[in-house]
Structure 1
Amino acid sequence: MEFRAQIEQLLNDFLAEREDLFLIDIKFSATDHIRVILDGDEGVTLQDCLDASRAIEFNMDRDEHDFSLEVMSAGLSEPLNSLRQYRKNIGRSLELILNDGSEVEGELEKVEDDHITLVLKYRKPKDIGKGKVDVVEEKDFLYSDIKKALVAVKF
């Protein structure tokens, strides 16, 4: 079996046993450095990363093929790229960058197969008179219109 296919199979076997975890990305460099990014329905612990690393490393022969392996959790700086990631972040604030370059921030309320729904809160000028009014609205965004989606971190 080819080296990459072996690594992918070992990782898939591990993830089949740990249904709470899922693969975000796997990258192979030209120098056989493997970078695995995992996420989980309840987050990813250091132990989860160690277990995934061991599932691969303990089943590969380094004399046959030398490689380095890095297993990590998807951090806050990683954009959301799967329905499962969106679902686990319902109730959190998201920052969206849309394909037209505009940016939107709101609370993730619903996740569907083709779109998400955000609750947007903002102030707009009154229709009559001076001042502003608070506005709360739900707005749908198609995945195809989203260039990048990040969990907004509030301090």
Structure 2
Amino acid sequence: MSTTQSERLRGLLEPLVAARDLDLEEIEVTPAGKRRVLRIVVDSDEGVQLDACAELSRAVSEKLDASDAMGGAPYVLEVTSPGADRPLTEPRHYHRATGRLIKAQLVDGGELVARITAVDDEGLDLEVPGVKGRKATTRRVAFGEIAKARVEIEFNRKAADTSAAAADDESQEEA
């Protein structure tokens, strides 16, 4: 997708996304046979529900039909939330991953697997798991020290973490 088309689509769609308290994470147009696929990735601090994607998809479709932003060629519209393996690139991504285990490639060439305990404007506070019975340690990492990072999927999270998550889910249901 050309930069000009990307900028035009972003300018056209960002107000629709923001009006629903969502962040426009990515816009991608890819060829698919005789058609193209327009994929719009949105997220929020609370996550994105299927109904929100469906509502946004209808609004985006109407907006695109009323403009010439996609040209005359047919396209398929997909509105989705980011996958679990998406890269963490913005401070808000790290904030949303607080409490999660991440794998980060550092600018100096090192690699770090640690749990995010806090995030501020400058960087992250991390808990680095202990190895071979050693206690976990804490570490501060500035955003500028991180070359790339992703959330690590955990299938067997510590019991204390899952019970805290369950208690959090119960308190949200009561609200």
Question: TM-score under structure 2 normalisation?
Answer: 0.70
The structure that is strand-richer by fraction is 1
1:13-59 deviation line (CA, Å, top 9, x unaligned): 2222222x212111234775422111121111222222222111112
Superposition deviation, residue 120 in structure 1: 0.8
Q: Distance in 2 between matches of 1:154 and 1:5?
A: 36
Superposition deviation, residue 109 in structure 1: 0.9
Q: Which residue of 1 aligns with 2:46?
A: 42
Q: Which residue of 1 aligns with 2:23?
A: 22
The structure that is helix-richer by fraction is 2
1:70-89 deviation line (CA, Å, top 9, x unaligned): 22111011011111121122
- Aligned AA (2:151): V
Q: Distance in 2 between matches of 1:37 and 1:61?
A: 19
- Aligned AA (1:27): E
SS in 2 for 1:113: coil
Q: Does 1:57 align with 2:65?
A: no
Question: TM-score under structure 1 normalisation?
Answer: 0.78
Pairing 1:1-155 to 2, within 5 Å after superposition: 7-19=9-21, 21-29=22-30, 33-61=37-65, 65=71, 66=73, 67-123=75-131, 134-155=134-155
Residues 10 and 55 of structure 1 are in contact (CA less than 8 Å); yes or no, is this contact kept in structure 2?
Answer: no
Q: Work out which of the two has the higher radius of gyration on C-alpha atoms and give 1 or 2.
A: 1
Please report the RMSD computed on the Cα atoms of aligned residues, expressed in angstroms: 2.6
Percent identity at matched positions? 30
SS in 1 for 2:15: helix
Unaligned residue ranges in structure 1 (runs of 5+) = 124-131
SS in 2 for 1:105: strand
- Aligned AA (2:24): L
Superposition deviation, residue 7 in structure 1: 3.2
Higher relative contact order (CA 8 A, sep 6+): 1
